[in-house]
Structure 1
Amino acid sequence: MDNFHNALTEDEQKDPRFRYRVAFVPKVTGRATNADLAIDFVRPGSPEAQAVERVLLKEVERQKYLPSQIVAKVREAGYPHFNMYDHTKLAQQLEARAPAKGYGVAIANTWYWYEGWFEKVIEKLAEGWARP
């Protein structure tokens, strides 16, 4: 496992598609000897496993926006003069396409922005950002 992990690039390790999160849920038991049980193994495919997957492993696809959609949302948010050129300049200035920043994703040679990028744009405009 360590060899596999060490072979991944830093960007691959930070990619949320490859993260695995575990939720710990307290288990109430009637016997004192079982109260301190740290791990309860559940067989894959069992009814218990299916119930856990329904509750804990719900995948969520994040909303994605094209650059033109971000510009439209920014204009609707009260910045009517914000245009595609401004968007491009701000993205370049903040190096927003760096995977570690998590503002968007490239899919089939097209860049899509997440809601977090829209929020960052609004934040910068509220601070008085103007194109260089």
Structure 2
Amino acid sequence: MLSSLLEGDQCRGVRENVGKWIELRNAVAHRHLPALDALVIPLAQSGLLNFENVLVEEFGPEYQVGEKLSVPLQLSGFRDPGVLSSLKRLQSSLPPDVQAVLAAADAAPAELLSDPTYMLRVAFVPVVHGSGRSPDSVAYFVPPGEVPSELAETLERYVVLAKPTARPNFTATDVINEVQRRAGFKFSVHDHIQACRNLGVRPPVGEPETTLDFRYAEYISSLKRHLYSQAWIDLLVSEFATPQRFTELTGRTAVPLEAP
């Protein structure tokens, strides 16, 4: 019965959504990974709506569960600019095989990412009702295909969804060698750690090791070390344009690379 609902190109999103859940289930079996919860919300939302549609289509509207569920309250994301960084920290703490499944889900073709039966992301738009009137509902859900064109254009301009990008893949040694070559100053492991902290990429001494700016680095818990991006190398080279700035960021006098 269900297999017949998954046939045809129009059901590709449903098939791919189920496939990702199977991959995730196989990857996380017998593991307790609370960090995974917040990261699979787009897949979970689509999966839940797909299940609801199957119930209605196969057994009738009297079996739908949507009317029996409470409206969830959003506790974060409206004022906290660090939500995205927090999610990235959560994802970096997951085992590599689970991270690979999530990365593959986000790297799907554009037409699949825009299919709400595969992955559904929503935008919360606060609405203030006129005084003296009771709203018909405390929350409104507008299906993607029914969003008015003027609202869709506004959301497209102002709501920016993170797109998959190449993850940092340079080790500290790679960074040190390249910065030395391009900046022309001797640059040690200690210098690099000091620069990371002074530029806000790694936390101060004594605090748990993590990443503070994902544009430049990512802490890989399974490797127990940071990996760095090309943007980090370029930033260091530009910062070390003068010996004075080198000293400010490392706490050590700049020594030309060719010096004995």
The TM-score with structure 1 as length reference comes to 0.55
Higher relative contact order, chain-length normalized (CA < 8 Å, sep 6+): 1
Partner AA of 1:104 in structure 2: A
Which residues of structure 2 form unaligned runs of 5+? 1-71, 92-120, 122-147, 153-161, 204-210, 252-260
1:85 counterpart letter in structure 2:
H
Equivalent residue for 1:126? 241
Structure 1 pair 3/93, CA: closer, same or farther in 2 (3 Å)? same
Q: Give the alignment's Cα RMSD to 1 decimal.
A: 3.5
The ranges of structure 1 where at least 4 consecutive aligned residues each deviate by more than 6 angstroms after the TM superposition are none
Task: Work out whether residues 105 and 112 of structure 1, in 8 Å CA contact, stay in contact via their aligned partners in 2.
Answer: yes
1:68-107 aligned at under 5 Å gives the runs: 68-97=173-202, 99-102=211-214, 103-107=216-220
Counterpart for residue 231 of structure 2: 116
Unaligned runs of 5+ in 1: 21-35, 40-56
2:74 paired residue number: 3
Equivalent pair of 2:168/2:227 in contact (CA under 8 Å): no
Sort the Cα spacing of 1:95 and 1:63 in 2 relative to 1 into closer, same or farther, 3 A: closer
- Following the alignment from structure 2 to structure 1, what is the Cα–Cα distance between the partners of residues 195 and 163? 34
Please report how far the alpha carbon of residue 82 of structure 1 lies from its aligned counterpart in structure 2 after TM superposition: 1.5
Cα 1:3/1:58, change in 2 over 3 Å: closer
Report the equivalent of 1:60. Answer: 165
| Percent identical | 12
Aligned to 1:50: none
SS in 2 for 1:74: helix
Q: CA deviation at 1:100?
A: 4.6
Q: Name the aligned partner's letter for residue 234 of structure 2.
A: E
Local SS of the residue matching 2:194: helix
Q: Are 1:14 and 2:127 matched, yes or no? A: no
